[in-house]
Structure 1
Amino acid sequence: MNSRFTLDGSEALESRLDQLCRAVGDRVAALIPPSRLQAVLLGGGYGRGEGGVLRQGGGEEPYNDLEFYVFIKGSTILNDRRYRAALHHLGEEFTQHIGIEVEFKILSIEKLRRSPVSMFYYDLVSAHRLVSGPEGALEDCDHHRAAHRIPLHEAARLLMNRSSGLLYSKELLAKTNFTAEDADFVGRNLAKAKLAMGDVILTAYGQYHFSCRERHRRLEKLSQTEATSWILPFVQVHTDGVEFKLHPFKSIQPREALQSEHAEISALAKQLWLWLENRRLSRTFDTVEAYALDRGVKCPESDPAKNILITARAFGVSAALGSGASRYPRERLLNTLPLLLWSENAFGDPKLRERVSEELRVPVTDLSSAVRAYKTIWNRFN
């Protein structure tokens, strides 16, 4: 268990976070019977001892979300129905108290034991802070500590989500009235993309690690051969991403500077997207347009029968009876994101515009309408 929440935060900040964790443990214990409550863990950056420290006005504040995982014996679905509302209310209460988002997610140790390896479970099992429960609560979940077993579709999901942040930033940068809040959003999402791109490369090479500092060391080492020298630009921006994760700040850059940086990072993300998807799907896509128009399966790890049920729940019975119903709905995001973020002809080329409209299930004529429809699906299947 980590003894600190941050790398170099003050004792006052560490004490504040420790007191919050103690309060969380007490309040959760009051909600869930001891015969059912297995453990409460703090995950995320603060659970790994690398939480962000925002320094402003002569003081220090936490920056990243606080992610608590409540392990409850029995069916996760039933436990979610029983306790989700109460834990959500508790999260809102603590959010108001500390000033950053506090979230509770329900799991069970039994489910964790039988779940396949993922980046999320790897991070949680490998490094967390025990808020309540027995030491070694996750000792039978060691298969999740095998970073080299994180599948490539996890890397694709990470890149999709961070590239989605670049897409939302692209829309903001095109606004007539660009606000300070917009600048902070764009700066934050650029930093997340910088970090994620290096993490995606490490995952593809089986070298991911829960510590962002160790990941950077591994990325530097990986780039030192001729065969992997193409990684060097990603190492450079990963440096900035790690620094922002540990020492975040609110961006006050003007729109023009952020537009220039956005263009640079988006170009790298495009290069990485094609490299990763060619590798993951064992196909050859020379352009993002070719990738988006290709109708081959892009989530082969999913179950076609389950996908039909998921499609019916998400989009209605009529969608479940249509073509593509057996594909996981995240494919709609994978097929539209490259066009919206990187293609110059997404709306000018009838074939591309039709593809975007088909996947997003609404007619789109411009970036704003497309992003609205994209977000609706992304919020559910990111």
Structure 2
Amino acid sequence: MRGGRFTLKGSVGVEARISQVVSEAAAVIQGHVPPSALRTLALIGGYGRGEGGVETRDGIERPHNNLDFLLVLERAPREGLKAELDRAMEPLREQHGLGMDLGITTVRALRRSPCMVMWYDMRFGHKTVAGDASFLPGLKHFTREDIPPDDVRNLAVNRGTLLVINEALRDRGSLDGEARRTIIRHTAKAIIGYGDALLYFLGAYDWSYAEKRRRMVWQRDVPDGFRQLYDEASAFRLEPDYTRFAPRELGPWMDEVRTRLADVHLACEAARLSVAGLKWSGYVDRALTHSLREGGFQPRVWARRVRNVVRFRPKASPELGFGARLGLRLGGPRGVLAAAFPFVAFEVGETQGAEFARQVMGAESRSPADLRRAYLRYWGESGDPNFAHVVRKFGLSL
């Protein structure tokens, strides 16, 4: 394996454990993929960057985050390969008590793909486990300057949805130990995701967690109170300590975080939409109309929009202007989620926005709980196919 350490602060023992698990996972994956079909297999995410988290339990260090693998094939995978590999890796997940995620793509897809945040991070923060070690670094079109603003908005929505899940857990009633850990972990991930988005719009984004933490300290245009939240979440990510949250009431802390992140979301959207002093009033119309300009004239963007027009029939609020209604139709389900998200996650108190969210997602009412349930149903159907596992695990009623 090439690429050095997996963690910033882990001991020799935990480094050796991660290395062993990665080798075992690689052997399983390579056992299902002919050498001629494999261009590269890489470990990405925190451990691929060399900045993975280490948790100490009962005096023993153990990996805290999932192991994220990316399999790059020479040509399109055979049907069912992803499900086949997920099943083959399940014994390893159970044996080591670790989450393992696998993404599959092709050489052509990566070479033709626009530069999303995850691809920029991957190019500079990965470890080659098998195959061509020069391939991922050679993807020179994956640069920070080429990351589109709407992809950063999507990053914020993805991470912010963890807060919606947290609130659904709180709606459920009593919070047991596992639910409390999940809420703390989700909240830290959401804070970091929003800090990443803010750094991008301030021109200071970097692929390294450690470097982003340093850069946040020197930023001037950071909403009040957020800098400390980001620093605490960054420290937690590297060395998670759940015990320090035990005396803290989760409810007030969750409310504070949502308030802070609502300010960051609005600041980032003001930069993305080029609207100084952006307010929540009229936000939906502005955001949906702006979406018509995103992606330019790229063929794949317009192919997706044509598919949305054919297949997607959203319930549009009659108060929206023509451009916003068109943007809603062309944007598809993910566009609905992005436009409705602030009014669900942050309860920003803007009646028109909440009514839009109710109508477009088919919620029973504008109550926060009803909007959350409708949003998470929509998220499971159109945003994250793995969300069903969370619903089953915690017995969420949607």
Does the 8 Å contact 1:66/1:100 carry over to 2?
A: yes
**For the residues of structure 2 that align with 1:289 and 1:172, how far apart are their CA atoms?**
29
**For the residues of structure 1 that align with 2:146 and 2:203, how far apart are their CA atoms?**
7
Report whether the alignment pairs 1:326 with 2:330. yes
Report whether the alignment pairs 1:193 with 2:195. no
- Most deviating of 113-122 and 253-262: 253-262
Counterpart of 1:301 (choices 294, 306, 310) is 294
What's the counterpart of residue 30 of structure 2? 29
What's the counterpart of residue 74 of structure 1? 75
**For the residues of structure 1 that align with 2:211 and 2:80, how far apart are their CA atoms?**
39
What's the counterpart of residue 138 of structure 2? 140
Aligned CA distance change for structure 1 residues 219 and 13 (closer, same or farther; 3 Å):
same
Q: What do the CA deviations read for 1:42-95 (whole angstroms, capped 9, x no partner)?
A: 0000111111101111111111111111111113xxx16241121111232221
**For the residues of structure 1 that align with 2:334 and 2:83, how far apart are their CA atoms?**
27
**For the residues of structure 2 that align with 1:2 and 1:260, how far apart are their CA atoms?**
42
What's the counterpart of residue 182 of structure 1? 179
- What percentage of residue pairs aligned between the two structures are identical? 26
Which letter maps to 1:107? Answer: T
Does the 8 Å contact 2:25/2:89 carry over to 1?
A: no
**For the residues of structure 1 that align with 2:282 and 2:232, how far apart are their CA atoms?**
32
- Partner of 2:71: helix, strand, or coil? strand
- Partner of 2:109: helix, strand, or coil? helix
Which letter maps to 2:24? Answer: A
What's the counterpart of residue 322 of structure 2? none
Which letter maps to 1:42? Answer: L
Does the 8 Å contact 1:194/1:240 carry over to 2?
A: no
Counting only pairs closer than 5 Å after superposition, residues 188-267 of structure 1 correspond to structure 2 as: 188-223=185-220, 228=221, 230-231=222-223, 233-250=225-242, 253=245, 257-267=249-259
Q: What do the CA deviations read for 1:112-152 (whole angstroms, capped 9, x no partner)?
A: 122111110011111111111133122430221x2233222
- Partner of 1:326: helix, strand, or coil? helix
Aligned CA distance change for structure 1 residues 284 and 359 (closer, same or farther; 3 Å):
farther
Aligned CA distance change for structure 1 residues 360 and 285 (closer, same or farther; 3 Å):
farther
**For the residues of structure 2 that align with 1:250 and 1:126, how far apart are their CA atoms?**
30
Shift of 1:355: 1.6
Which letter maps to 1:189? Answer: H
- Most deviating of 127-136 and 361-370: 361-370
Shift of 1:207: 2.1
Shift of 1:249: 3.0
Aligned CA distance change for structure 1 residues 273 and 56 (closer, same or farther; 3 Å):
same
- Partner of 1:267: helix, strand, or coil? helix
**For the residues of structure 2 that align with 1:243 and 1:259, how far apart are their CA atoms?**
21
Does the 8 Å contact 2:165/2:376 carry over to 1?
A: no
Does the 8 Å contact 1:52/1:245 carry over to 2?
A: yes
Aligned CA distance change for structure 1 residues 341 and 21 (closer, same or farther; 3 Å):
closer
Shift of 1:297: 2.6
What's the counterpart of residue 343 of structure 1? 347
Does the 8 Å contact 2:157/2:338 carry over to 1?
A: yes
Pairwise CA RMSD: 2.7
Report whether the alignment pairs 1:368 with 2:369. yes
- Most deviating of 365-374 and 204-213: 365-374
- Most deviating of 320-329 and 330-339: 320-329
- Partner of 1:54: helix, strand, or coil? strand
Which letter maps to 1:270? Answer: A
**Equivalent residue pairs, number:** 367
Shift of 1:343: 2.8
Counterpart of 1:275 (choices 267, 270, 289) is 267
